[in-house]
Amino acid sequence: MERWTGRVALVTGASVGIGAAVARALVQHGMKVVGCARSVDKIEKLAAECQSAGYSGVLIPYKCDLSNEEEILSMFSAIKTLHQGVDVCINNAGLARPEPLLSGKTEGWRMMIDVNVMAVSICTREVYRSMKERNIDDGHIININSMNGHSVVPQSVVHFYSATKYAVTALTEGLRQELREAKTHIRATCISPGLVETGFAFKLHDNDPERAAATYESIRCLKAEDMANAVIYVLSAPPHVQVSCNSCEITSLL
């Protein structure tokens, strides 16, 4: 990770769960991390914790609604002005709403498309532009996906969510191919965990907290820190090594 010391990473959805764990790990390894979310209170608290811990990097909170393209573009403009640009992009933000295919609300579907697909695509496009403007040829784009992007489980409330994650699988492979066609050494990786114990299920089942809690009690879940370790592993790979989509499906052994 030494080659990333002092360089800039963007982590979306950095306020809780996987995003917060990844942001902390990157700061611990000496990176300047722009952590964005719709609310930055928790990121500000995390930034203070990182500073108190004496980590060599820094966490910079940034308020951004990823369902709004103008806010995303404004964020990249601010990063360019203050920090020159982004060298590593962790597209982590994602959400699920309990909207089945036969009875779901269009609003919920659109929300998932906007955050899980459109925001990933816009951030990817903008970070690539940032890298090219500065002749950065060793950058890395990591999409935090899901096993739901590789198989459809028999639970109607996550079928549309699964469709958006299948999109992330296709987007990452398409990105890898386009980067190769462009003869760049910028890398693209898709990390697809199984069930991770975060607040995700409580947001999905916000009207049924008992069902949400039962989701995490049914099996030994992954932790957000496991995902942070996976990101560090991917970034630590030598420049000639490409950890691609199909190599990064992560589940608990117990």
Active-site amino acid positions: 161
Pick the closest to residue 17 from 38, 53, 42 (CA basis): 42
CB 137 within 8 A of CB 102: no
Q: For residues 43 and 59, what is the distance between their CA atoms, to the nearest angstrom? A: 8
The DSSP secondary-structure symbol of 211 reads H
Paired strand residues for 11:
35, 90
Q: For residues 5 and 33, what is the distance between their CA atoms, to the nearest angstrom? A: 11
CA-based max dimension of the chain: 52
HEC-encoded secondary structure of 137-162: CCCEEEEECCHHHCCCCCCHHHHHHH
Q: Give the Cβ contact number of residue 67 at 10 Å.
A: 18
Q: For residues 245 and 24, what is the distance between their CA atoms, to the nearest angstrom? A: 24
The DSSP secondary-structure symbol of 101 reads T
